[in-house]
Amino acid sequence: MGTRNSTVTPPDANDDATFRRRLQTRGYLEFAEPPPGLAAKVLANMPQEAPALAAQRRQTRFRWPVAAFAGLLVLLLAFGTWGLLIDSAGPARMLGDLSSGLSRVVLLLTLAAKPLLHVLAMPGLPALLLLTTGGLVWLWWRLARVPAFADTAEAAL
């Protein structure tokens, strides 16, 4: 958080006060008016439970898609492993004769997961992952974090 370092001198404060007065005189400091009824709208959309419970629910809401995605990935890997090591149609046969809806979907998933497992078992995977991650981080840094970097550099002045 911010720290007091006694670098704000009276001239700084005077410059600010003068500038603020000039803005005020010219009518620039008026607040932008919110649309009528905004406070009521905000209140109508607030959670009905206590803040701690609302925070918990909000966190759970954000975690749910991540958990679902992770679950799907694990399921896919499990099917793929089964398909590679035991029998491609094994998991699907437990659900039907491979022509019915669900068993056909599972068969498709098992077959789709096999290339994924092959990729995971690839010898150059660590290098590939490193390169991909590095590229994504660089891209993210250039696109999103460069202003923040500039701020930090400026703060050090």
Partner 1 sequence: MTPDQQAEEAAWVAQTLAGNQSAFAQLVNRYTGAVFNQAYRMLNNAAEAEDAVQEIFLRAYTRLASFQPERRFVTWLLAIGSNYCIDQLRRRRQQWLSLDDVAFWLPSDRPGPERSALQRERRDLIQEALQGLPDTYRMAAVLRFWHDLSYQEIAEALNLTESAVKTRLHRARAMLTTALAAEGDTEWEPEIAP
Q: Which residue has the tokens 């550099």?
A: 153
Longest dimension (CA), the chain: 84
> Residue 57: what residue type?
R
How many chain residues touch partner 1 (CB under 8 A)? 48
Interface of this chain with partner 1, residues 57 to 76, rule: CB under 8 A:
58
Regarding 126 and contact with partner 1 (CB under 8 A), the answer is no
Q: Applying CB under 8 A, which of residues 85, 94, 121, 144 lies at the interface with partner 1?
A: 144
Cβ 83 vs Cβ 111: under 8 Å? yes
Regarding 52 and contact with partner 1 (CB under 8 A), the answer is yes
| Summary count for the chain: helices (H), strands (E) | 7, 0
Cβ 83 vs Cβ 90: under 8 Å? yes
Q: Which residues bind partner 1 (CB under 8 A)?
A: 1-8, 12, 15-16, 18-20, 22-23, 26-35, 38-39, 41-43, 45-48, 50-52, 54-55, 58, 143-144, 147, 151, 154-155, 157
